[in-house]
Structure 1
Amino acid sequence: MLFKPEITYDAEHKVWGAENARDYFAPDLSIGEIIFHEMRRHPQLIAQISESENTVLTREELHLNSMRVASYLRSLGLLQSDVVGIIARNTTHIFAVTYGCFFNGIPFHAVNMIFDEAAIKHLFNITKPRLIFCDGDEYEKVKAATENLKVKIVTMRNHPIGSIKIDEVLATPIEENFKPSRLEQGNNQTLAILCSSGTTRIPKAVTISNSRKILSAALDLTTSDVQYAHSTLDWFSGFLTTVTSGVFSTKRIISDIPFDPVRFLRIVEQHKVTWCMHSPLHLALTGNSPELEKTDMSSIRTFLYGGARCSLEAQQKIRSRLHQDGMNLAYGLTEIGAVTINFHFDQKPNSCGRPVDGKKIKIIAENGDHLGPNEVGEVCVRSGQYWAGYYGNPEETQNVLDSEQWFYTGDLGYMDDDGFLYIVDRKKEMLKYQSYKYFPNEIEDVISQMPDVVDVCVFGIWDPMGSDKAAAAVVKKVGSQLQAQDIVDYVRKNIPVMNKHLHGGAIIVDDLKRSPNGKTNRKATKEYFLKLMESN
């Protein structure tokens, strides 16, 4: 079978790679300039529909609003060396703020709204934004966190006294003969700053350049596509959807309320969504929704997901409702974007796919040796694009990027004989029980096969004998009678290796502890487990 994309394998150096994709736009144009010109080319197309606020914007209207925001930033004297802060939901005008920043070549720093005051203070003290756009819901928290910065705050909704309303910004006259700014440092200049997942400590500020390679996960989009991603701008998926809907002039459906699988399925059917991007959590919730079997999903040609593991059962439930093999598991990092995409779910379920758009991959053993096919080691990636590193943190940058620009992901995985990547686990999450190594995901994969399990997190509980006893927190389906002991017994029955049994026990929880981007926070879930055990 002919697999895509085409890749090469350098057997001497043991490096897999993909050729650079054809560039659709002049190489000197910034992302902001591309979006500016594409909006002018398709003025009457619908750019955005807010499903929660019942608003509709054409590309012309969004273009005008974006120029008004850009003109407002210019009136404040903001330079390309400055930073704009964003901590907001997907409301009607937040994307005019995004594109306004792009038009001016000013990076924005997006932070999740559920971060507490201390985390917001830490992150914005790194980038020191001159202006922050947030929802009125978080105004007091943001104001307190940035008190030392003396920053202006614009609210997007629920406007409290003292804030600048977004309507005031959108009343700014557009500069005469407005043109997007040329980038002072070319396309190596920072486009945006997002946050690392922060599952083990306070997130880092991750820079993203104007490189075209951020488009590599969506190069087949056209003006006839309808995009949906529930995530906000601080998630890479939300950022990517914002960029690609602007570049490829798609229709985008947005919502500013918490994710609900029934609502998502209704959006797909009502708006004929063709391209959507999900977190594994949202995929699992959708796959286990009773409404799935009743929903017409024939419009979807790309169902892209990634960021963490998800049960194969949930993936297959979604796949069974699609009219073509559009289940595309992607592997990537905020730091370097999409690395691989699996366009062959039916043939290679649970693989992260092959390298995309100029990406190169090597697998490294603990002693530094390069490994060949089917050998597990640390996944290292060379993206072929400039990366400025973690904003204000050169030490952390040097820890993950070597002198040849190989990024050390911290993920363990292998490439199969067809050049498909499989992720085994995080390098740091390897555990030992009585000197035998195991990875949490090995046990999670088994537990997730239980019909009544929606989600699961496995972790190690340290004991005085020097072992990590595996324990599990499990989310069961609504109405299920599943008990903790059922899970322990199931693992014992289905995993013959004793060191992978749940010697630490199991608990049933309403939900797992998660980081702001929705990923399972293994450390926090473990802490909750221990606290619960101590109280019993």
Structure 2
Amino acid sequence: MPYRPASFYDADLKVWSSGKLEHYFDPHLSIGEIIFEEMRRHPQLIAQISATENTILTRAELHDNSMRVASYMRSLGLLQTDVVGIIARNTTHMSAVAYACFFNGIAFHSLNISYERSTIEKLFNITRPRLIFCDGDEFEQVRAATAHLDVKIVTMRNHLSDSIRIDEVLATPIEENFLPAKLEQGNDQTLAILCSSGTTGVPKAVTVTNSRQILNSSNSLTTNDVQYTHSTLDWITGLLTTVTSGVFSTKRIIADNVFDPAFFMRLVEEHQITWIIQAPTHMAMMANCPAFGTSDLSSLKYYLFGGSRASVETQHRIRSRLSRDCLHFAYGFTELGSMASINLHYDEKPNSVGRLVAGIRLKVICEKGESLGPDEVGELCLCNDQHWAGYYGNPEETHKMRDAQMWFHSGDLGYVDDDGFVYVVERKKDMLKYQNIMYYPNDIEKVISAMPDVAEVCVFGVWNQMVGDEAAAAVVKKQGSGLKAQDIVDYVATHIDAKYKHLHGGAIIMEDLVRSPNGKTNRLATKAYFLEVKNST
């Protein structure tokens, strides 16, 4: 059975909390030390299968590769204060790079492969890595972006003649009597540096600590489990899967291709995948895929999704193909370094992100910063009582995100009901006003998502100086549908009584929504495309 969280409410403080975080492993051990020992315990088990590069590694082989990469880093004189850069896909030896960093107590800074040169330059200029692992596809761009840094660049695949090949690194002799390094700052030390969603401006470099919080909802994983996520190491879900696979000795399936729903569903059946964590975007693509109706997803025991909402219809369709009740909405954010809540009670609370997981406290605050009670909407603030080094090199934004009392200010508006279930209403910054009446895009998105021919939708405000934010929609229709933009406008007009929520700004049909590098719908960029289309007609 999966971990079942419960929430407790302190009416005096107006704070919700879950049980204490239990330590299955010695709390003084680092993530790297745990993985090092666990890989030695199960040497013959298959650790990883690449479905795109057709490689198989046992845990002994992956352990050996990780020590070789770690020994290479040590031969370069890298210290725990140094940073290793990563901008690569889920290729065969990517896990060895991550584990090598864990073994050495060196944080890696992982960027998305779709970042343009200027973004790569700005981000790596913050952390100034001495060693970068990337694919040959991005080598020239990475080299140009880091030309002012003293950095070595290793390519993971599609090697160029003047790059250091990962094969050369893997030929490094393992240091005699190799042991993982003791962390100089203990488990307060940074494990990894990821990137914020980056829907506006340059993404921030988000530190994630060695805290055990990252394991807070994965204790049910065993050596019998088979894990998969399409997320790369610049996503918290990619980091989570890499860590939990190493800690709990699961088999991990990886792929370095662009997400293909039919391909993914074949992987589930072929490898009998039991655990996945997925973006709602990929869920919608699956539900809209011709192969979905005949796919065999019966092996799945843990189907987690998060990062944004999945429409109720998409959730119903996915659940109809599962052999057990295992589709669970998980809520969290990169800065927290873990899940905050998970909904294991879909039928009872279908719109909730669930109850808090172990080690998390939550309060809801109003605009004045005062705590609110059950069913009152305000900003969700969370606390895990763990050290957080903040946004690397950005103390100003760090203080905005986490206050002096260690509360993270999520920027999400929501509430908690009398049963301790958390609900996320909308992003605080997404609030719109029409004729001075406040509303949220999600109010309209939920209605449009119920249309039989709609696969995905993004609603935003188009400014009109006379009335304020006019709601507008960009919609991806289902395959074979004859849906027209006016059909959407008309549907909203007949299904929402409040006229201020009607699509006064209009609607368009798109092949796909504009997305941030981490796969989330980029509302601002989708709106910009909408305006471009409207202005050209």
TM-score normalised by length of structure 1: 0.99
Residue 223 of structure 2 corresponds to: 223
Contact 1:278 1:306 in 2 (8 A): yes
Separation of aligned partners in 2, 1:274 and 1:233: 21
Give the drift of 1:350: 2.3
Residue 202 of structure 1 corresponds to: 202
Say yes or no: does 1:367 pair with 2:368.
Answer: yes
Residue 90 of structure 2 corresponds to: 90
Report Cα offsets for 1:6-58 as digits up to 9, x if no partner: 22100111111011232111111000000000000000000000000110000
Residue 63 of structure 2 corresponds to: 63
Q: How high is the sequence identity, in percent, across the aligned residues?
A: 65
Residue 473 of structure 2 corresponds to: 472
**Residue type matched to 1:478 in 2?**
Q
Give the drift of 1:293: 2.2
SS of the residue 1:471 aligns to: strand
**Residue type matched to 1:108 in 2?**
F
Give the drift of 1:290: 2.5
Residue 519 of structure 2 corresponds to: 518
Contact 2:90 2:256 in 1 (8 A): yes
Separation of aligned partners in 1, 2:130 and 2:159: 20
Separation of aligned partners in 2, 1:21 and 1:84: 30
SS of the residue 2:258 aligns to: coil
Separation of aligned partners in 2, 1:4 and 1:374: 22
Superposed, which structure 2 residues align to 1:278-317 within 5 Å?
Answer: 278-317=278-317
Give the drift of 1:150: 2.7
**Residue type matched to 1:341 in 2?**
I
Residue 348 of structure 1 corresponds to: 349
Contact 1:325 1:346 in 2 (8 A): no
Residue 424 of structure 1 corresponds to: 425
**Residue type matched to 1:535 in 2?**
S
Residue 128 of structure 2 corresponds to: 128
Contact 2:102 2:191 in 1 (8 A): yes
Contact 1:227 1:251 in 2 (8 A): yes
Separation of aligned partners in 2, 1:328 and 1:21: 20
SS of the residue 2:335 aligns to: coil
- Return 5+ residue gaps in structure 2 as ranges: none
Separation of aligned partners in 2, 1:5 and 1:142: 43
Separation of aligned partners in 2, 1:309 and 1:335: 19
Give the drift of 1:4: 3.4
Give the drift of 1:466: 4.4
Residue 440 of structure 2 corresponds to: 439
SS of the residue 2:62 aligns to: helix
Residue 243 of structure 2 corresponds to: 243
Report Cα offsets for 1:337-357 as digits up to 9, x if no partner: 211011111221121011111
Separation of aligned partners in 1, 2:377 and 2:178: 53
**Residue type matched to 2:344 in 1?**
F
Superposed, which structure 2 residues align to 1:371-520 within 5 Å?
Answer: 371-520=372-521
**Residue type matched to 1:301 in 2?**
K
Separation of aligned partners in 2, 1:200 and 1:522: 10
Say yes or no: does 1:323 pair with 2:323.
Answer: yes
The more displaced of 492-501 and 314-323 is 314-323
Residue 8 of structure 1 corresponds to: 8
Report Cα offsets for 1:208-256 as digits up to 9, x if no partner: 0000001113121111000000110001111100000000000000000
Separation of aligned partners in 2, 1:321 and 1:477: 18
Give the drift of 1:151: 1.0
Separation of aligned partners in 1, 2:176 and 2:418: 58
Report Cα offsets for 1:137-190 as digits up to 9, x if no partner: 000000010011131100000111210000000000001110000000000000
Contact 2:46 2:58 in 1 (8 A): yes
Residue 530 of structure 1 corresponds to: 531
- Point out 4+ residue stretches in structure 1 off by more than 6 angstroms: none
SS of the residue 2:457 aligns to: strand
Contact 1:459 1:471 in 2 (8 A): yes
Separation of aligned partners in 2, 1:155 and 1:220: 36
Separation of aligned partners in 1, 2:296 and 2:347: 20
Say yes or no: does 1:259 pair with 2:248.
Answer: no
Superposed, which structure 2 residues align to 1:99-110 within 5 Å?
Answer: 99-110=99-110
Separation of aligned partners in 1, 2:5 and 2:117: 44
- Return 5+ residue gaps in structure 1 as ranges: none
Separation of aligned partners in 2, 1:385 and 1:220: 22
**Residue type matched to 1:205 in 2?**
A
Residue 274 of structure 2 corresponds to: 274
Separation of aligned partners in 1, 2:389 and 2:287: 38
TM-score normalised by length of structure 2: 0.98
Give the drift of 1:124: 0.2
Q: Give RMSD over aligned pairs.
A: 0.9
Report Cα offsets for 1:183-210 as digits up to 9, x if no partner: 0000000000000000011100000000
Give the drift of 1:259: 0.4
Report Cα offsets for 1:256-287 as digits up to 9, x if no partner: 00001111110001100000010010111112
Separation of aligned partners in 2, 1:383 and 1:201: 28
Report Cα offsets for 1:284-304 as digits up to 9, x if no partner: 111222322212211111000
SS of the residue 1:218 aligns to: coil
Residue 189 of structure 1 corresponds to: 189
Give the drift of 1:61: 0.1
Give the drift of 1:535: 0.8
Separation of aligned partners in 2, 1:219 and 1:394: 34
Contact 2:6 2:420 in 1 (8 A): no
SS of the residue 2:345 aligns to: coil
Residue 17 of structure 1 corresponds to: 17
Separation of aligned partners in 2, 1:51 and 1:400: 39
Separation of aligned partners in 2, 1:261 and 1:308: 18
